[in-house]
Amino acid sequence: MKILIAEDDTFFQKFYSVQLAEKGYQIDVAKDGVEAIEKLKSFQPDVMLLDIIMPNKDGFDVLEAMADDPSIKTSVVVFSTLGQEEDVKRAMNLGAKGYVNKSFFDLDGLLKKLNELS
């Protein structure tokens, strides 16, 4: 499975990239929303872990861009420290398939969510 991690924080990029690569996933990273949209088209991941608060375009902007481009078939899991119900609901309404709080470092929970989408 190919996973795009759209995350501007280098600590979270590295931590989750290494952990997921060790589990056999093919990983690429986007440092902001603009790069995420580009890599959705070039890398064509099966799943994107999408942070909400990013520079240039935030996660909501990325979800809106995906909705406007029917050629993008990637499933999205919101990958954020934002846990407010309204933010999660907004992301789900824009097409996200789930939410994972990245700061809990719950790799088993993340793997379970990824397996549900594959």
**What CATH code is carried by the domain that includes residue 47?**
3.40.50.2300
pLDDT for position 104: 75
Categorize the per-residue pLDDT at 83 as very low, low, confident or very high, splitting at 50, 70 and 90. Answer: low
- What are the tens digits of pLDDT across the range 19-41? 999 999 999 999 999 999 999 99
pLDDT for position 88: 85
Residue 97 has pLDDT above 90, yes or no: yes
What letter would DSSP give residue 100?
A: E
pLDDT for position 87: 87
Residue range of the domain that includes 52: 2-117
Q: What is the pTM of this model?
A: 0.93
| Contact by Cβ (8 Å): 77, 48 | yes
pLDDT for position 20: 96
Pairing of strands 75-80, 98-101: parallel
The mean pLDDT of 94-114, rounded to a whole number, is 87
Q: Which residues of 68-97 are buried (b: 16+ CB within 10 A; e: fewer)?
A: eeeebebbbbbbbebeeeebbebbeebebe
Residue 12 has pLDDT above 80, yes or no: yes
Q: How many domains does the chain have?
A: 1
Residue 62 has pLDDT above 80, yes or no: yes
